[in-house]
């Protein structure tokens, strides 16, 4: 009877075969790793720029009970720091990296009125008008009566102005025929009467001189007024000229063509008292 030894086998396969295959694989990797020498890689720089990226995923869960900051979506937050850091906007980061602003120009110095080299006159502001209270009925009635009285006075003034006599002034320089013709006849009569009634006191004292006389005539030729506009320097001559004009009155009535335009005609002439007599110019 011969004794035969048997190696028990596991249900999963031969363990010796498996061990042999693993050993062959390890040896092959070892041989291949020693046979190839890859190109040397360039050394990496000591510090490479890094970029921290925080990924925020929109969650469908409930919002946090206490929010630290406002954000586009509800999130619990994450990070690698223990302190809470407030997010910064890109504009704030750009402002920090931008060059510093130029210094502002110096503020102009304001001088007071005492310090200024030339004193400036200040314009006083007008006080604000007080609010007008509504007028009572009695005040409105009095105001209406005042306006009515003023209106009546204005009407009376206009009527008086319209009834005021129309006055016309002529002199030796007047050339219009209707006035010049009447004035020449008037002057001739005054000179004739004046030479007949020349003042004796002026002849005795050998006085001479000239004066400017204004004679105003009514439409019927009577005297309205006599005024000495410029004296001769001798009261005897001034009074004599006025007396001569009154002696020569009344004068012929004003012609119809003159009366259409005037109610009072002023004749202004210069009268000369000479040794030879009285004459007008």
DSSP 207-235: --EEEEEEEEE-TTS-EEEEEEEE--S-H
Give the tokens for residue 38. Answer: 């890859």
pLDDT exceeds cutoff 80 at 141 = yes
The pLDDT value recorded for residue 6 is 46
At 100-137, the pLDDT tens digits run 666 666 665 655 555 555 554 555 556 666 666 777 88
State the pairing for strand pair 209-217/264-274: antiparallel
**pLDDT, mean over the chain:** 75
- DSSP character at residue 206: T
Question: Are 171 and 269 contacting, i.e. CB atoms less than 8 angstroms apart?
Answer: yes
Q: What is the pLDDT of residues 14-37, one digit of tens each?
A: 677 778 888 887 777 766 655 545
167-280: CATH architecture: 2-Layer Sandwich (3.30)
Ordered DSSP codes for 108-152: PPPPPTTTSSS--PPPPPPPPPPPPPPPPHHHHHHHHHHHHHHHH
Q: Nearest-5° angle of CA 62, CA 68, CA 74?
A: 30
**Whether the predicted model's global pTM rises above the 0.85 cut:** no
Q: Quick check: 202 pLDDT over 50? A: yes
Least confident range from 101-105, 181-185, 246-250: namely 101-105
Is 90 exceeded by the pLDDT of residue 170? yes
Residue 42 confidence (pLDDT): 56
């Amino acid at each position: 009877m011969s004794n035969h030894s048997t190696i028990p086998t596991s249900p999963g396969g031969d363990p010796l075969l498996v061990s042999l295959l693993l050993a062959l694989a390890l040896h092959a990797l070892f041989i291949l790793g020693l046979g190839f020498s890859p190109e040397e890689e360039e050394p990496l720089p000591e510090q490479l720029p890094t970029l921290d990226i925080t990924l925020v995923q929109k969650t469908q869960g409930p919002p946090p009970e206490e929010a630290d900051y406002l954000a586009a979506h509800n999130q619990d937050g994450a990070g690698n720091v223990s302190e809470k850091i407030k997010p910064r906007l890109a504009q704030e980061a750009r402002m920090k990296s931008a060059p510093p602003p130029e210094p502002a120009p110096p503020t102009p110095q304001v001088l007071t009125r005492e310090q200024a080299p030339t004193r400036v006159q200040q314009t006083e502001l007008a006080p604000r008008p007080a609010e007008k209270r509504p007028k009572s009925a009695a005040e409105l009635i009095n105001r209406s009566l005042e306006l009515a009285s003023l209106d009546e006075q204005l009407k009376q003034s206009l009527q008086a102005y319209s009834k005021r006599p129309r006055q016309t002034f002529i002199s030796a320089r007047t050339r219009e025929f209707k006035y010049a013709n009447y004035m020449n006849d008037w002057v001739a009569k005054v000179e004739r009467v004046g030479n007949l009634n020349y003042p004796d006191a002026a002849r005795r004292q050998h006085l001479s001189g000239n004066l400017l006389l204004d004679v105003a005539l009514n439409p019927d030729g009577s005297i309205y007024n006599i005024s000495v506009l410029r004296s001769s320097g001798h009261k005897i001559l001034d009074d004599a000229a006025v007396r001569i004009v009154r002696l020569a009155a009344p004068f012929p009535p004003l012609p119809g063509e003159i009366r259409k335009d005037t109610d009072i005609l002023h004749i202004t002439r210069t009268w000369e008292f000479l040794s030879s007599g009285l004459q007008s110019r």
